[in-house]
Amino acid sequence: MDCLFSLFSFVYIQLSFCLKEKNMSVFRVVGGPQNYAWGKLGSSSAVARYAAANDPEHVKIDENTPYAELWMGTHPKVPTIVYETGKPLSELIAQNPSKYLGDKVIAKFGSSKELPFLYKVLSIKKVLSIQAHPDKKLAQQLHASDPEHYPDDNHKPEMAVAITDFEAFCGFKPLAAIKHELETIPEFAELVGEKATKDFIANPSKENLKNVFHRVMSSDETFIAEVATKLVKRSVEEPSLFGNELADLIQRLNEQFPKDVGLFCGCLMLNHCNLKSGEAMFLQAREPHAYISGDIMECMAASDNVIRAGFTPKFKDVEVLVSSLTYSTNPVEEQKQPPAPFPRGSGDAKFALYDPPIDEFSVLQIKFDNAGKAQMKGIDGPSIVIVTEGTGKLNQNDENISLDAFEGGVYFIAPGAEVELVNESSKPFILYRAFCEA
């Protein structure tokens, strides 16, 4: 009888906990790490450290393994898990969409179980492929015709917020800069060809930029390797011709991808952007870019569509890429996403809002320099929070919830939930919150 009573008590406690968990507005979740070749090795990777701290039972850091991305969201490729139940976050959301997404978000984006955004940490040791992402119309067409290479029918604008010093390619250089390179770097003109080079120098236009880019991307691989060898040699012997920074970049990336077309379509044609910790850049759909090194928070519309160009052994869809780009030539500073105030945050923390001109996501940095408390009013949509530095508390006082907030800890916040953050030490405590508010 005592055994039966104990069993009943255990089942009752577990059922009560599950019912309570299903109605909690703030709870811990577990993202999934990805081991791509370009990631930083072992514990040098923020991805590895965060993943191991948040899921120590399943993630043991191998110092010889690259840890590239930590996914946080409901994308089916790497679904985030509710920590206490071990079930996908999407299942919990589907049980009560109004509570976990909010009616406005459901009405706008049409899903009753998926977040409109995908949130990631990236740790980059080796340059990622030069790539662009389709807009909604093109994404639907590509997914319908080639679902193997384009698994989603959604667009993929994205934003990168630097955690450490970070460098990237972002958009085409100004036309005058590309003209100067064609005039002064013989290997660039040789690859592009005499007619296309003359046409561009005579008339540096978007149409002629498209032609130059197409000539580069459609060149024979043997010819690319031959000309790239001469380009790298010249960057060593005549660095002043390129500028020391560009010469160094060509040599570094050639070590990672020897004789690759990316030395031309990336190093010579795209803006080279450097961000300090806390700086951000926003990348619209149909804009070429590539991440080169550093650790970042990345947020994007919920899609995994990529059209690749260079620095990759993977599938390159040259004709789709060339035809889909906007060929805008904005300077680097216009690619950056400056932080804005966040009036719904108060207390001892500093709030910096990165709010790009799209509906799917915004990212909020919350930073404590010293001990203290801060409050955030409710947001009319779902949020995912990750701690990138320090330890503290994440409280939802209306429901008597207090969670340990530690480096690498990941948390879901339901729409409307007011949250208190506490830093109990004199050391910095930094969090990043991705959210959607229709």
How many other β-carbons are positioned within 10 Å of the β-carbon of residue 248?
A: 13
User: Bridge-partner residues for 160, per DSSP?
Assistant: 281, 298
137, HSE (Cβ side, Cα atoms, 13 Å):
2
Phi and psi at 11, nearest 5°, equal -60, -40
Contact by Cβ (8 Å): 159, 361? yes
User: Bridge-partner residues for 48, per DSSP?
Assistant: none
Which stretches within 41-164 are classed as H helix? Answer: 46-54, 89-95, 97-100, 103-109, 136-145
Question: 131 labelled as ligand-binding?
Answer: yes
Question: 158 labelled as ligand-binding?
Answer: yes
49 is an active site residue: no
Q: What is the DSSP string of 4-31?
A: HHHHHHHHHHHHHHHHHHHH-SEEEEE-
Taking the C-alpha atoms of residue 344 and residue 315, their distance in angstroms, rounded to an integer, is 45
Q: What is the DSSP string of 279-309?
A: -EEEE-TT--EEEEEEEEEEEEES----EEE
Q: What is the DSSP string of 327-383?
A: -----HHHHB---B--TTEEESSEEEEE--SSSS-EEEEEEESSSEEEEE---SS-E
Question: 272 labelled as ligand-binding?
Answer: no
Which stretches within 30-174 are classed as H helix? Answer: 46-54, 89-95, 97-100, 103-109, 136-145
Catalytic residue among 49, 215, 308, 433: 308
Which stretches within 378-425 are classed as H helix? Answer: none
Question: 396 labelled as ligand-binding?
Answer: no
Query: Can you say which residues are annotated as belonging to the binding site?
Result: 131, 133, 158, 289
Query: Can you say which residues are annotated as belonging to the binding site for Zn(2+)?
Result: 131, 133, 158, 289
Catalytic annotation, residues:
308
